[in-house]
Amino acid sequence: MTISRGRALVTGGAGFIGSHLCERLLDDGYEVLCVDNYYSSTKDNIAHLLDNPRFEVMRHDVTFPLYVEVDEIYHLACPASPIHYQRDPVQTTKTAVHGSINMLGLAKRTGAKILLTSTSEVYGDPLVHPQTEDYWGNVNPIGPRACYDEGKRAAETLFFDYHRQHKLQIKVVRLFNTYGPRMHPHDGRVVSNFVVSALAGEPLTIYGEGQQTRSFCYIDDLVDGLIAMMQTGDEVTGPINLGNPGEFTIAQLAELVIEQTGSASSLTYLPLPQDDPVRRQPDITRAQKTLGWGPTIPLSEGLSRTIDYFRSTLA
């Protein structure tokens, strides 16, 4: 008989990152409660986990209180791609703010440790490169991306105020671009956009001249970082950047995707969207020192796995 390591709640557990985290926690011996309202996720991501007796799924919107008993809370719930979070920006802000208040209230009542997946978007279009955790960011508070950027900034504020005021055990991580199997094929993110287009033989759309940069972290590496952060002592609150510091231009990514898919796709160019960051690269010194964490999977390898996933699911 396996002795459970505790009961972990994962909000947004049926999403791209959440489903991989649920899977890993089950493998590590946890009981897992997956909560999701399926706004930008799918039950297909967790279908293979449903037969596990330590896995439970609840359809719930975190903007409403949740009354359960748990030991750890991974708070991931929030649409994270521009297409999804801009579809209903008011609801996005409510999810980030009300959702955090409700999960923090749950942590306060149960005494659970609680981790927030914040985002590199708190840095906005950064004036500091690479981005360190002590940089306060350059965010347009009234632009079309503000519902997500400012929502996550407010969520961080709430986490640290609950920590100071109520002595909650909080963990805050800032996630940079993450990719891998189970990404939504039409979520508007650059890796899934390029791979899906290349496999269909359609043009790859590049915004601007393709010289803006991003850093891409494979999902397995990211999940390792989330769990390492949760396992730190009470003195570690973050924020801590989690991402791969390898910096690539969007044009370089497009070339790599075309090469690895063997596609004959061409490139098309459109104007840059408003407030789209020009450069994005994490400084992960704090994660390396505090968590002993760093990414191990290079872009070429992770991209190959991601292409295989889309090739099989879109066939």
Catalytic residue list:
148
Neighbours of 148 (CB within 10 A): 25
Helices 219-230 and 16-27 sit at what angle, rounded to 10 degrees? 60
> In terms of Cα–Cα distance, which of 92, 221, 218, 230 is closest to 150?
92
CA–CA separation, 78 and 95 (whole Å):
6
Q: What angle do CA 45, 47, 51 make, to 5 degrees?
A: 140
> Hunting for tokens 């899934």 — which residue is that?
192
Rounded Cα distance, 100 and 75, in Å: 8
d(CA 43, CA 247): 33
Question: CA distances (Å), 167 to each of 18, 108, 111, 226, in order?
Answer: 26, 9, 10, 21
Q: Which of 41, 4, 39, 40 minimizes the C-alpha distance to 19? A: 41
263 close to 132: Cβ distance less than 8 angstroms: no
Q: What burial class does residue 140 get, using C-beta atoms within 10 Å of its C-beta: 0-12 exposed, 13-18 middle, 19+ buried?
A: middle
